[in-house]
Amino acid sequence: MPNSNDEVKEDNETRNKEAGIDVQSMSKSDNEPAVTPEFQYGVQKAQAMTQVWTKENLILAYVVIWLIQFIQGFSSGISSTLTPWVTSAFAEHSLTATTSIVSGLVGGLVKLPYAKLMDVWGRPQGFAIMVACATLGLIMMAGCNNVKTYCAAQVFYYVGYNGIDFTLTIFVADTSSLKNRAFLIAFMATPWIATVWAYGPAAQSILSTIGFRWGFGVWAIVYPIVCAPLIALFIYNERKAKKAGLLPERVSSNRTAMQSIIYYCREFDVIGILLLATGLSLFLLSFSLYSYQTEQWKSPMIICFVIFGSLLIVAFALYEKYLAPVTFIPWTLLMDRTVFFTFTMVASIYLAWYLWDSYFYSFLIVVFNQTVSQATYITNIYTVGACFWAVIVGIIIRYNGRLKWLSLYFGVPITILGVALMIKFRQPDTNIGYIVMCQIFIAFGGGTLVICEQMTVMAVSSQQNIPAILAMEAMVANIGGSIGSTVAAAIWTGVFPNKLAKYLPASSQADLATIYGSLTAQSSYPVGSPARIAINHAYADTQRLMLIAATCLYSITLGSVILWKDVNVKKINQIKGIIF
């Protein structure tokens, strides 16, 4: 139930010390002002709004958030399913991957400047912009006449999609105590338990009835309607806070236009964000585009992308430490033991995941002779299981408060167990039930670790730094995932064709190139035939190396969690006002 920090009698400084951390800029006295003067204006508005929320409005806001997340999950699933059909309609199916690469990259990187936008300008304004971006993208997708327009539309849509999701996470952080926050973040993810099964049949129905244009057009209508109540609640409570005198008056700065530009460039840390966003764009694009180059990793363009991208990321770190007048993230926070090793944990998790999962769907189709529907159900176990288990983890954190021990003694071990057991159960003569069991283990581990990684960095941050620290965490996950996919592709191209050449019978050797390049060709051979046995054997050997590499990488995850501080979120008071 919502509660007021007025009821808290303990001294916050003592409680934070007991929790094992030193969090600056948090409430230390009930006599402090409603907002923290040194925080940026957008954060001050969030603090003031928290003072005026009513219990009823807060509950209504969370109900609307759940509906928005349902729409997010449903629409994004349909969009990704329809993309190949859209590119095929314009006779450019080969550009399907390109649209996904560009939109995914831009949509992921937008969190970096958007985090600053929310801090400087405000949560309500940022949320409204992101809803407008998503709606514009859907309108453009519905009316596109070529793949280039569709690609641009996807960029707008995924910028809005990621921005909406990010805003809702920040809203939860602004309106919840740390001990309840894990449960509320998990609650936000529960719509995916349903949408993961629903969007496939819905996309099929759209294609066979109204067509892809109206398939996007419907969501362009639904998005603003569903999001409007939350925008209205934001605006209402912001005005309520202003009328209550909780926000300091913004006096005229008397700056010239040029002085205002310089001021906001400074406040937004434009130089730092440009260095980081450009560096990440070049670095991540190299992993996405190398396979399209004739010389692949030896391509001069790819080499330049990697080198200059890496140098710009290093330049960002040096700029933030020595030159930035307003830092994107305080250097002391970035070098905090818990934050640093949470980032290494996140990088290792996503690297390992994409390393073994990249060819897992094909593995199920070929080696275990699963239908498309059956393979999809098995790959969806992680999403459903992780979203379900995260709710349980949130409840445990609510009453236990310890993040480190939950990750160290359950999350990491059960993830390692699930991946390691698949090394044994990857053979085609194994009952598919064992693979399902492993996926359930991995889902429960993932549901634990994803919640704990977010909670850990938020617990050691002040309210102002939460958007930036979560944006950085998402960036680290993108880098880890990109590297994992690349390593998986390298293992696949280096091992699978050689194993095929070794195992295929002489009668099928002439078809080696076709078999290597086509999932349809691989699964077309009758089960039990010499060629199919050889293909399965090659798959099992290749997947074995991916799984072993992933299991070894989880040792970094384990070591990182060991080096966390023992944070107890029950003993930290981070947010003032009416909160959950």
Q: Tens of pLDDT along 233-246?
A: 988 888 888 887 77
Mark whether 284 and 348 lie in a shared domain. no
Residue 489 predicted with pLDDT over 90: no
pLDDT score of 33: 61
pLDDT score of 228: 92
Residue 352 neighbours by CB distance under 10 Å? 27
Q: What is the rounded average pLDDT for all residues in the chain?
A: 81
Q: Tens of pLDDT along 247-273?
A: 776 666 677 777 778 877 787 777 887
pLDDT bracket for residue 15 (50, 70, 90): very low
Average pLDDT score over residue span 526-541:
88
Q: Which of 67-76, 94-103, 104-113, 324-333 is the least confident region?
A: 94-103
Residue 14 predicted with pLDDT over 50: no
Mark whether 228 and 373 lie in a shared domain. no
Has residue 216 been placed in a domain? yes
Nearest to 288 by CA among 16, 438, 489: 489
Mark whether 207 and 278 lie in a shared domain. no
Has residue 577 been placed in a domain? no
Has residue 412 been placed in a domain? yes
Burial of 414 per CB tally in 10 Å (0-12, 13-18, 19+): buried
Q: Tens of pLDDT along 150-197?
A: 888 888 888 888 889 889 988 888 888 888 889 999 988 898 888 888
Q: In which domain, by residue range, is 305 found?
A: 270-325
Last residue of a domain, one of 305, 325, 345: 325
Has residue 258 been placed in a domain? no
Cα Rg for the chain, rounded, in angstroms? 25
Burial of 420 per CB tally in 10 Å (0-12, 13-18, 19+): middle
Q: Which helix (H) or strand (E) holds 285?
A: helix 270-289
Name the one residue in this structure whose structure tokens are 């009823």. Answer: 56
Mark whether 85 and 95 lie in a shared domain. yes
Has residue 264 been placed in a domain? no
Mark whether 349 and 483 lie in a shared domain. yes
Residue 415: CATH number of its domain = 1.20.1250.20
Nearest to 460 by CA among 327, 339, 320: 339
Residue 555 predicted with pLDDT over 90: yes
- Higher pLDDT: 549 or 25? It is 549
Mark whether 47 and 11 lie in a shared domain. no
